[in-house]
Amino acid sequence: MKVALFIPCYVDQFFPQVGLATVDLLESQGVEVEYPEDQTCCGQPMANTGCVAEARPLAEKYFQTFRAYDYVVCPSGSCTAMVREHYEEFAHGGAEFKALCARTYELCEFFTDVLKVERLPGRFPHRVGLHQSCHGLRELRLGSSSEMVGASYSKARTLLESLEGITLTELTRPDECCGFGGTFAVSEEAVSCMMGNDRIFDHEQAGTEVMTAVDMSCLMHLGGLIKRQKKPLRVMHIAELLREAASRI
């Protein structure tokens, strides 16, 4: 299995430890990982702001960079959703382009859907709250959302529950947005911060010690609010958490 690692811009620049943790987790499952150095932004910031023409060259760059790989794995639900759900308008009907988008996976769903991992070794004796990011939840369907009728599931939660000693906290609104929304946090700063504080309060009421998510962008926003208010909550990308748990075997 030849797997390429696709790292979001903000992870590359601000949270490289998330990318390294992702590599460690994949290699622990016997996956051969390569990091194509020609990769760049997926174009989501431009597309979300309405600058679709500016996003097109980045989509085409993605195709040229990753076309030779069996799978592409990304530790971000939002960037994966951009590729899988929004690149079609750039594909011009090209079957090879569409096939590449279809085999681009968020890290947790790659574990559950491709590798068929049901349990991960490790110990994490903390009260953990899972933040379900909007793109992963409602575009990639990494978990069930409250407005949908059907069985409840969460691919990230499945992996977390397999760890020894972990306690997953129960939120009153488990699938509510954190307020980040990329450029929304800039154009609507006050609303964004209020939404983030609501999520933090929900975790505090639930007794969360460590807040985790599949998107470091959400945790960057929430972590900033937590840090400025000097709250004791710790934020960790799920890749970091799973790797730390594995080190405690």
Is the separation of the CB atoms in 124 and 166 below 8 Å?
yes
Answer yes or no: is pLDDT of 238 > 90.
Answer: yes
With a CB cutoff of 8 Å and minimum separation 6, the contacts of 149 are: none
Chain segment 58-71, per-residue pLDDT in tens: 999 999 999 999 99
Is the separation of the CB atoms in 154 and 130 below 8 Å?
yes
Instruction: Say what the pLDDT of residue 107 is.
Output: 98
Answer yes or no: is pLDDT of 38 > 90.
Answer: yes
Say which residue the tokens 């307020």 belong to: 179
- Report d(CA 1, CA 148) in Å as an integer: 35
- Report d(CA 207, CA 88) in Å as an integer: 42
Q: Residue 32: in which H helix or E strand, if any?
A: strand 32-34
Q: What is the mean pLDDT of residues 175-185?
A: 90
Helices assigned H by DSSP within the chain: 9-14, 16-28, 44-48, 52-66, 77-86, 88-91, 95-102, 107-109, 134-138, 155-161, 184-187, 189-206, 216-228, 238-246
List, edge to edge, every strand of the sheet that includes 2-5.
Answer: 32-34, 2-5, 71-74, 104-106
Chain segment 77-119, per-residue pLDDT in tens: 999 999 999 998 887 778 999 999 999 999 999 999 999 998 9
Neighbours of 171 (CB within 10 A): 18
Q: Where does the pLDDT of residue 183 fall: very low under 50, low under 70, confident under 90, or very high at 90 and above?
A: confident
Choose the weakest-confidence range: 93-97, 217-221, 237-241.
Answer: 93-97
- Report d(CA 210, CA 98) in Å as an integer: 37
| Confidence (pTM) | 0.94
**Please, what are the domains in the chain?**
2-114 (no CATH), 127-246 (3.40.50)
- Write the single-letter amino acid at 8: P
